[in-house]
Amino acid sequence: MVGRSKEIIITAGGENIAPTNIEDQIKKELSDVVSNVMVVGDGKKYLTCILTLKVDIDQDTQMPTGNIVPQTLSWLKQTCGSSPQTVESLLTSSIWPEVAAGIQAGVDRANTRAVSNVATVKKWTLVKKDFTVGGGELSPSLKLKRFYVLNMYEDIIREMYEN
């Protein structure tokens, strides 16, 4: 099995961190909004993560549609008073800063449960496409294929560490 034999992140400072615990905490804090989380930080000074919103999945192709699920639309309406129907329209809408602040608040709450300061997420980014089996990001048993996602979002990850 390639990719899952060692799900430990070793930071630039030599700290060993289990990303699944952090990912689970973020998902718990943002359960109405976030579908998947992948923590990144191997060989880096701090941790970052990639988030995906809950969207409808096409049952025939097993690919994400981009249409936000009703549960997330409800959270958006509560948080911002508006709810764009697609991830694409949300990211370009005027309410995005409010949504980002709401997501950041959830990440901050998850960070308070971290075992150490090194195990806190400093930056995050929301990607347009949810992780699915059909898209290759998840295995048939719904485990995250970290190596695949790292390659797929290499540019976005690099940006989080450059800015």
Checking if the pLDDT of 3 tops 70, the result is no
pLDDT value at 124 more than 80: yes
Average pLDDT over residues 126-145: 93
Percent of the chain at pLDDT exceeding 70: 96
Q: CA-CA distances (angstroms) from residue 39 to 102, 108, 121?
A: 19, 14, 8
Q: What is the pLDDT of residues 86-108, one digit of tens each?
A: 999 999 999 999 999 999 999 99
Helix (H, G, I), strand (E, B) or coil at 50: strand
Q: What is the pTM of this model?
A: 0.91
pLDDT over 90 percentage in the chain: 84
- Alpha helix segments (H runs only) across the chain: 19-29, 70-80, 87-92, 96-111, 146-152, 154-162
Kindly list the structural domains of the chain, giving each domain's residue range(s) and its CATH number in brackets, ordered by start. Answer: 9-55+102-156 (3.30.300.30)
pLDDT value for 1: 30
Q: Which residue has the higher pLDDT, 111 or 4?
A: 111
Report residue 109's pLDDT band, with 50, 70 and 90 as the boundaries: very high
Helix (H, G, I), strand (E, B) or coil at 122: strand
